[in-house]
Amino acid sequence: FETYLQEVESARQNGYAVDKGNFAKGVVTISAPILDGQRQPFMAISAVGFSTQLSDNGLMAVCEDLRDRCREVTLAISGGVG
């Protein structure tokens, strides 16, 4: 359970969460939140890929890009609050 709590805190700090094969072996899932005007999670966008197709650098690039796109959507739907 401690590992789970550490992963939740990491997701909070990074602005995205990564699952490397926990849900499905060989599958990587990345998710980032879109927040409402009160900074509460409203929805999320996820990307899914096969772990064999993503290098560590490629994974980091997708994580950061997804987080940044979600922040843009957050700003657009929340009237600039985000």
The reported pLDDT for the residue numbered 82 is 54
Sign of CA dihedral 26, 55, 70, 9: positive
- Looking at the DSSP bridge assignments, the partners of residue 34 are 43
The reported pLDDT for the residue numbered 81 is 59
- Decide if 50 contacts 24 (C-beta within 8 A): no
pLDDT 10s per residue in the chain (82 long)? 888 899 999 999 999 999 998 889 999 999 999 998 888 999 999 999 999 999 999 999 999 999 999 999 999 988 775 5
DSSP string of 43-78, one letter each residue: EEEEEEEEGGG--HHHHHHHHHHHHHHHHHHHHHHT
- Decide if 30 contacts 66 (C-beta within 8 A): yes
The reported pTM is 0.85
